[in-house]
Chains A and B, each alone.
Chain A
Amino acid sequence: MNYFVTDNTSGAVRLSDIPELSYGEFYDDLAAKLSDERYHVAHYFALPDDRRMRFFCLLLDDAAGQVLVTSHAMEYYEDTALPSLTALHPQMHPFERDIAERYGIRFDGMPWPKPLRFPFDRYDRRSSMDNYPFYTMEGGSLHEVNVGPIHAGVIEPGAFRFICNGEQVLHLEIALGYQHRGVEAAFAATDNRLRQVCLSETVAGDSAVTHATAFTEALAKLAGRAYPEQLVRERTLALELERMAMQIADTGALSMDVGYQLGQVACEALRTMTINTTQAWCGNRFAKGLIRPLGTDHPLTAEKASMIRRNVAEIARRYDEVRHDLKSSPTVLARFEQCGIVPRDEMRRIGGVGQAARASGLQRDIRASHPWGIYASELRHEPIVKRHGDVMARLMMRCREVLQSAGYIDRMLAASEELLAGGSAVLPAPDYAAPLAPDSLAFGLVEGWRGETCHAVVTDAEGRIAACRVKDPSLHNWMALALAVRSEGISDFPICNKSFNLSYCGHDL
C-alpha cells in the first residue's frame, strides 16, 4: 500500500503510519495518478527531522472523497538530484520550488527553477529579490513594462513584468515574495495556542475565517475531540458570510475597474452591510476572534441569529438586482466577455483550484468533493460550474455563489432557530490547553471563498506543534492569471487580475 487513506473528517495520522516510499516509487505513482483528473495535490512539503529530510504529500482523490497521505525521505546532506514532477505535471511547481528554495534540494529537469518567496533562511542567500533575473525576450518591436512591486492605492506588493508587442501582452511574469513574514516559522516558534490561532487568522486578511477554520480543524483532529453540531454550524455560517462579503466586494471592484459606477457603489454598500453583520455578531468585521479551537467566545443567540437572517436576506435581495443589472448592461458585457480566458485543460494542468477553476469548467470544490462538518450532513453542496473561463464567467461565478451562500446561511439559521429559542445551545468556551497527539500529522482542508485552503500540522514527540505548513489557493492560481493575460491587451490586465483577486500574503506567507 503506497498511501495512508483517510478523509477530511477522520482524525490525525500517526507519522509512523504514513508509508515511506523511495523517491522512484513516489515519482512513478504520482506521475501516473496526476494524469487522471480525479487526483490533485493539496500539499507537498519537506520537513527536516534530525539528520533526515522527510517529504509529505497530501493527494486528494475528488471522485472517492479520499485524502491519500504518503511520504518519501532522504538524508539531510544527501545531494542527489530528484527527477522533477513539475516537468510532467506543472501543478507541482509551487511545491517543488518551495522545497528547492528552502532546503537546496535539487529537482532535475525542473522547467523553471524560480525562487518562490525568498525566505530569510533560504538555502541560496546570493539569490535575492533585488537581483532576480526576469524572463526576457529579444525583438525590435517588443517592449517591457514593469508594474510594481509598489502599487497605487492599498494593493499589496508584487512585481509584474509584461513583455508586450504594442498593446498586446505576450508574456507576463509575476514575482512575489515581498510579503514574506515567516508565518510558518512563527507557528512553530510559540507554544501559546491562542497566539497560533490568531496567527492563522492573519495568514491572509481577507480569508481570516477560512484559515482559522483550517487551522482549528487540524487542531481538533490532533486533540481527537469532536465538538457540538451547533458549533460546527456557526463556523460554517461564518465561512459563508466571509464568502458573501468577499464575492460582493470583488463584484464591486470589477465594476470599478471598468468605470461602472452603479455596480461599484451598490456593491460597496452591500459589502459593508455584510461585514457589519459579522461585526454585530462577534465584534470584528472580518470575524477575527470568532473561530477558536474546540469552542467559541461568541455563541449565537436567538436575537443575533434573527439579525443575521434578516440582513442576509436583504443583502441577497439587493445583490440580485445588481447581478441583473450587470448581466443586462451591454457596456459591462463588452468588457468582461471573451476577456482573460483560461481554458479548462490549462486550468487542470496548472492545478487551479477554487472559484477560478470552477469558472473554467473544472469542478474543484472541497465542500462537495471532501465535505466536512455541516457540508457532510445538512448541506448537500452542489458546486456552481461555468464553462467559459473568462472574466465574465468568474464574475457570474461570484454572483451565483453569493446567492447560494445566502441560501445556506438561511437554512443553517432556520435549523438552529429551535435550538436557540429553547436556550439549549450552550457551547463550550475555547480550549487552548487540549493536549495534541504526539508524532502525528493532521490537516485542515477548507473551501474558502478563494478556494481550497490546507493547513498541515505536524506534532513532535511531546505533542507540540513542530510545523504548520499553510497552503493558500493563491499558490496555484497566480499561474492562471499569468496565462489569462497572454495575448490580451495590457489595459485589460487589471480586470483579469481583479477577476482572480489572489492573495499576495497568502502566497508569500
Chain B
Amino acid sequence: MNTLLNTLLLLAAAVAIPGVINRTRARLAGRRGIRFLQHLYDVRLQLRKGAVYSPTVSALFRATPSVYAGAALIAALFVPVGDLQPLLSFEGDIVAFAYLLALGRVALILAAMDTGSSFEGMGASREALYGALVEPALMLTAGTLALASGQCSFARIFAAGAAIDTQQIVILLLATYILVKIVFTESGRVPVDDPRTHLELTMIHEVMCLDYCGVDMALVKIGGWLKTAALSLLAADAATTAWGCPWWLAAPGAVLLTGLSVGIVESTQARNKLSRNTTFILTIAALAALVFFTCYLLRLNIGLQ
C-alpha cells in the first residue's frame, strides 16, 4: 500500500512538473498558457504514430528510446516520497541510481552518433561533456546524503526521519540547492539548454533526438519527465527532511520547487553562451564537493569554532 502510493505520487509528479513549468512561463509572459496536461495529449498522439528510421541507422538507434525510458523509470523507482517505501530499494542503490541515468545518457549519445548527422554528432559531444561534468556533482551529493544519515539507500536515508541538529539541516538544505541545480542541467532547461528553441546549432538534448519521431520520441520525452521527477523528488525529500515536514509535502514540494524555479528562470533569463555552461556545471560540482567534505568533517566531530 505504502509502496503503491509512493509509485503513484512519483508518476503524478512526473506528469505535473512539465505542466507547472508551462503554466508558470505563460503567466509570467502575460498569457493564459496551454492546457495543463497538453504534454500528455501530445505524447498520446505520438504514441499512436509509428516510427520512421533512416536507412543508415543500426539496431542501437532503435533500441535507445526503450533503454533511455527504461533506465529513467527504474532509476525513478528507487526514489522515495518522504518516508514512504519505494518499489525498488537495496543497500547501495544511490550508486545504481546515478549510473542508470548515465546508462540512458550513453545510449542516447551512441544513438545520436549512429545517425551520422553532423547536428547530432555535435549534440552528442556536448551532452557527453556536460554529462561527465554533472556526474561528480550527483555522486557527491548522493554521498553527502549517505554520509549525513549513515545509510546507503535512498529509502533508508529519508526514512530516518527529521534531521536532528542544525548542522545536518544546513547540509540537507545545501544538498537541496545542488539537486535543484542538477535538475536544471539534467533536464536541459535554461540556462544550460533551451528546450523551446528551433535552432539546431544551439541545442544540446533536443538535437540528439532530431531523428526520432512517433513512439520513439514519446519514449524519450517520458524518460526525460521521469528523470526530472526523480531528481526533483530527491531535492524535495532533502528539504522536507531538513525542516521535519510531514512526508506528503515531498510530492507537491518537488512539483512546485522544480516547476516554479524552472519556469521563473526560463522567463526572466537568457540562456548561457555554450562555453559558459562548463563553468556553470563545474560550479555545481565544486559546491557538491565542498558540501561533501564539510559533512565529512562534521562527522569527525571537528568543531567549527
A: which residues have CB within 8 A of B?
143-147, 152-153, 166-167, 255, 257-262, 265, 329, 331-332, 334-335, 339, 489-494
Within 255-275 of B, Cβ neighbours of A (below 8 Å) are at 266-275
CA–CA, A261 and B199, complex, Å: 16
Residues in B neighbouring A332, C-beta threshold 8 A: 270
**Contact across chains for B199 and A262 when beta carbons are under 8 A apart:** no
Set A143, A146, A259, A334: member contacting B266, Cβ < 8 A? A259
Chain A proximity mask over B163-196: 1 for CB below 8 Å, otherwise 0: 0000000000000000000000000001100101
| With known contacts A331-B269, A332-B270, A147–B275 Cβ distance under 8 A | no
- Which residues of the partner chain A approach B199 to less than 8 Å between Cβ atoms? 152, 257, 494
* Chain B neighbourhood of A152, CB < 8 A: 198-200
Instruction: Decide if B29 touches A144 in the complex (CB within 8 Å).
Output: no
Given A144-B118, A331-B269, CB of A489 within 8 Å of CB of B274:
yes
Check if A490 sits within 8 Å of B118, measured CB to CB: no
How many of B's residues come within 8 Å of A, CB to CB? 31
Across-interface contacts of A257 in B (CB, < 8 A):
197, 199, 202
A494–B201 CA distance with the chains assembled, in angstroms: 7
Task: Enumerate chain B residues within 8 angstroms of A339, measured Cβ to Cβ.
Answer: 273
B residues lining the A interface (CB < 8 Å): 25, 28-31, 118-119, 121-122, 125, 190-191, 194, 196-202, 266-276
Show 12 residue pairs from A and B whose CB-CB distance is below 8 angstroms, ordered by the A residue: A145-B118, A167-B122, A258-B271, A259-B269, A261-B28, A265-B29, A332-B270, A334-B276, A335-B270, A335-B271, A489-B273, A493-B201
A261 and B118 alpha carbons, distance in the complex (Å): 29
Q: Is the CB of A331 within 8 A of B270?
A: yes
A-B contact count (CB 8 A): 80
The listed residue (B29, B201, B276) touching A262 by CB distance below 8 A is B29
CB distance from A230 to the nearest CB of B (A): 39
Question: Could you say which residues of chain A place their CB within 8 Å of the CB of B201?
Answer: 145, 147, 490-491, 493-494
Interchain CB contact (< 8 A) of B30 among A143, A255, A259, A265? A265
In the complex, residue of chain A having the shortest beta-carbon distance to the beta carbon of B210: A152
* B29 neighbours in A (Cβ, 8 Å): 261-262, 265
Asked if residues A262 and B267 are in contact (CB atoms below 8 Å), the reply is: yes
Task: Find chain A residues with CB under 8 A from B197 CB.
Answer: 257, 259
11 further contact pairs, Cβ within 8 A, besides A334-B272, A335-B271, A491-B202? A143-B118, A145-B122, A147-B201, A167-B275, A257-B202, A260-B270, A261-B267, A262-B28, A262-B267, A331-B272, A491-B274
B207 to chain A, nearest CB (A): 10
Expressed in whole angstroms, the Cα–Cα distance for A221 and B257 within the complex equals: 67
- Within the assembled complex, what's the spacing in Å between the Cα atoms of A259 and B195? 9
| Given A143-B121, A489-B274, A262 contacting B268 (CB threshold 8 A) | yes
- Asked if B194 and A259 sit within 8 Å, CB to CB, the answer is yes
Q: How far is the CB of A37 from chain B (nearest CB, A)?
A: 34
Q: Which of A153, A259, A493 contacts B271 (CB 8 A)?
A: A259
The 4 closest A-B pairs by CB, nearest first: A258-B270, A260-B270, A259-B271, A331-B270
Q: How many Å lie between the Cα of A257 and that of B194 in the bound state?
A: 9
Residues of B within 8 A of A153 (CB): 198
Q: Which residue of A has the minimal Cβ distance to B195? A: A259
With known contacts A493-B201, A494-B199, A145–B119 Cβ distance under 8 A: yes
